[in-house]
């Protein structure tokens, strides 16, 4: 194992531990905390049970049980889609949002801010590694909307080229299960 791979392994283990601690602090299991964290970032095409399963790499059965617990605890609410009859969107309640306050991502951001690394360069390099690993594993990328190949912005409006729908600004900074990496004119995928 190279020193770089060792660092990734230690980081992954440490983040797992932080997730466990955050979850236990609220009487939850780690998967409950992970689902809440995902839903806080997911756009309107991605706040669905199937997307939760894809993002976390867990079975639909586990997702279903997890959502039932979160709903019973009042941490999420289900909202029927106004246009697609059977589709149900999952939203955090105020109590669900409170669980995410001052969690491990905040502590990591503080450490990064204090480290002096250039956040944009650091993120770009890490994202390149992440994208390559996701391609290798055949995972969906779940990227941020405004960096998607389908994202269109013109005349002060933003649209999704895939669905043809207008995107509110707050949706463009969320993550999407339909996200597609941009390509160069030569057809090379660009790591964003
Ligand atoms: S532009 Fe891409 S990321 Fe944004 S909503 Fe459309 S498919 Fe999803």
> Which of 79, 24, 35, 77 shows the shortest CA–CA distance to 58?
35
- pLDDT at residue 171, rounded to an integer: 93
Let me know: does 90 contact 52? Beta carbons within 8 Å: yes
Q: Across-strand partners of 35?
A: none
Residue 159: predicted pLDDT:
94
Question: Which H or E run includes 21?
Answer: helix 3-25
More confident residue, 122 or 183: 122
Which among 41, 42, 45, 51 is the best mutation to test ligand 1's pocket, defined by most ligand atoms within 8 Å of the CB? 45
- Rounded mean pLDDT, 131-160: 89
Residues 182 and 120: their CA atoms lie apart, in Å, by 18
Beta strands in 22-150 (DSSP E): 76-80, 88-92
Ligand 1 center–CA 121 separation, angstroms: 24
CATH architecture for the domain at 3-100: Orthogonal Bundle (1.10)
Q: How far is the CA of 22 from the centre of ligand 1 (A)?
A: 31
Over range 53-79, report the average pLDDT: 95
- Region 62-88 average pLDDT: 93
pLDDT at 126 over 70: yes
pLDDT bucket at 132, cuts 50 / 70 / 90: confident
| Per-position DSSP letters for 28-42, written without gaps between them | --HHHHHHHHHHHHB
Which pLDDT does position 82 carry in this prediction?
Answer: 84
Secondary structure class of 162 (helix, strand, coil) = coil
H or E element, residue 3: helix 3-25
Q: How far is the CA of 190 from the centre of ligand 1 (A)?
A: 16
- CA-wise closest residue to 135 among 173, 95, 180, 176: 180
Please determine, for residue 187, whether its predicted confidence score (pLDDT) is greater than 70: no
pLDDT at 85: 76
The answer to whether residue 184 scores a pLDDT higher than 80 is no
Domain ranges of the chain: 3-100, 117-192
Residue 136 pLDDT class (50, 70, 90 cuts): confident
What is the 163 CA–ligand 1 centroid distance (Å)?
A: 8
Q: How close is the Cα of 12 to the center of ligand 1, in Å?
A: 28
Pocket of ligand 1 contains residue 145 by CB under 6 Å? yes
**Separation of CA 181 and ligand 1 centre (Å):** 10
Query: What is the model's pLDDT at position 165?
Result: 92
pLDDT digits (tens, 9 = 90+) for 3-60: 999 999 999 999 999 999 999 999 999 999 999 999 999 999 999 999 999 999 999 9
Q: If we measure between CA atoms, which residue out of 133, 139, 125, 144 comes closest to residue 182?
A: 144
Ligand 1 touching residue 40 (CB < 6 A)? no
Ligand 1 contact, 160 CB (< 6 A): yes
Check pocket membership of 177 for ligand 1, CB cut-off 6 A.
no
CB atoms under 10 Å from CB of 116, counted, come to: 6
């Amino acid at each position: 194992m190279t020193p770089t791979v060792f660092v990734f392994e230690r980081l992954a283990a440490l983040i797992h531990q932080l997730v466990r601690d955050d979850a236990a602090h609220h009487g939850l299991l780690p998967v409950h905390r992970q689902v809440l964290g995902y839903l806080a970032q997911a756009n309107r095409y991605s706040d669905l049970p199937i997307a939760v399963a894809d993002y976390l790499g867990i079975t639909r059965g586990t997702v279903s049980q997890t959502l039932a617990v979160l709903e019973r605890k009042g941490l999420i609410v289900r909202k029927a889609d106004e246009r697609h009859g059977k589709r149900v969107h999952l939203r955090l309640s105020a109590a669900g949002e409170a669980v995410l306050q001052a969690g491990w991502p905040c502590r990591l951001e503080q450490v990064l801010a204090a480290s002096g690394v250039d956040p944009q360069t650091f993120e770009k390099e890490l994202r390149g590694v992440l994208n390559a690993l996701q391609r290798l594993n055949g995972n969906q990328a779940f990227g941020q909307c405004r960096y998607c190949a389908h994202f269109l912005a013109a005349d002060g409006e933003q649209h999704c080229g895939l669905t043809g729908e207008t995107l509110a600004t707050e949706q463009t900074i969320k993550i999407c299960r339909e996200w597609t990496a941009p390509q160069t004119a030569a057809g090379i995928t660009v790591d964003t």
